[in-house]
Amino acid sequence: MADRANPAFAVAAVAVPLAALGYALTVASLQAHTYVHVMAGVLWTGFDLFIGAVLGPVVGGLDDETSAAVFQRLTPKTAFLLPALAVTTIAGGITLALRLNLFPNAEPWLALFTAANLVPILLLLGWRLDAWGDRRWQVPFALVTVGSLAWVATTVGDLQATTPAIMVALALVTVLSVQGFGFLLPGELRMYAEMTSPEPDASVIAAVGRQNAKLGGVQGLVQLLLILDMVYLRYGGF
C-alpha cells in the first residue's frame, strides 16, 4: 500500500504526527502540547468533513469505473494519514487533560476506556477482515483482551465520578475510534485488496469507497460535537 500512496508520503504521514505526539508527551511546553493536539484534531476533522460533505456527493454521482479510480488514488494515502492523526489527537487530548488537571480520578476511567475501545475494534477487524481463524489476529486479540480487562479489574474498585464533560468526551472518542479503526480502516484494506487482485472489480471498490465516505461524514459530525464538549471542558461550562 505504501508504494501506491508514494513511500515518502506514507512515511511522512505517519512519522510526522507521531513524532509531534512524542514531543508533546515528553519535552513540550503546555502551549506546544496544546498546539499539537489542536492541529491534529483540526486536520483529522477537516479531512473527515471534506470526505463526507464534498467528496462523497461528488463520487456518488459518478459511474463505478470513475468512482473506483478516485478511491484507488485516495485510499492508499488516507489509510496512512487518518489513523496517525486520530492517534495523535486522542492521545494528545487525554494527556493534555491530565496535564491541566481536568480529568479527576483518571486511571479507572482510562482502564474502562481502553477496554471499550480495543476489544470492539479488534473484534470488528476480525469480522470485517474474516480473520477470526487467523493466529495473527487471535494472539493480539487475546493479549489485548486479557491485558485491558486485567487493568479494569485492578482499578474498578477505585472508580469515582469524574466531570460530565470528561464522560461525554470519552464516549464520543470511543464512537470515533471504534468506527474509524473497526469500520473505516477495514474498508480501506478491503478496497486495497480488491485493487491489487488479478481482476479488480470496480463496483466493489466504488461501493466500499462510497460507504467509507458516508462514514467519514458521520465521523466529522461527531468530531464537531467533541470540539463543543472540549470547549465546555476547558472553560468550565459544565
Summarised one tens digit per residue, pLDDT across range 120-135 is 999 999 999 899 999 9
Apex 113 CA angle, 107 and 116, nearest 5: 145
159 to each of 54, 72, 156, how far by Cα in Å?
43, 47, 5
pTM of full prediction above 0.95:
no
Nearest alpha carbon to residue 128 among 63, 212, 200: 212
Q: How many CB atoms lie under 10 A from the CB of residue 189? A: 17
121 is written with which cell numbers?
A: 475494534
**pLDDT exceeds cutoff 60 at 106:** yes
Name residue 10's amino acid: A
pLDDT tens digits along 19-33? 999 999 999 999 999
**Under 8 Å between Cβ of 44 and 223:** yes
110 to each of 23, 36, 107, 113, 149, how far by Cα in Å?
22, 21, 5, 5, 12
Tell me what pLDDT residue 109 has.
96
> Region 72-81: what's the mean pLDDT?
90
Q: Quick one: pLDDT band at residue 238, thresholds 50, 70, 90?
A: very low
Nearest alpha carbon to residue 125 among 173, 184, 81: 184
Sorted by sequence, the CB contacts under 8 Å of residue 35 that are 6+ apart come out as: none
Q: Quick one: pLDDT band at residue 142, thresholds 50, 70, 90?
A: very high
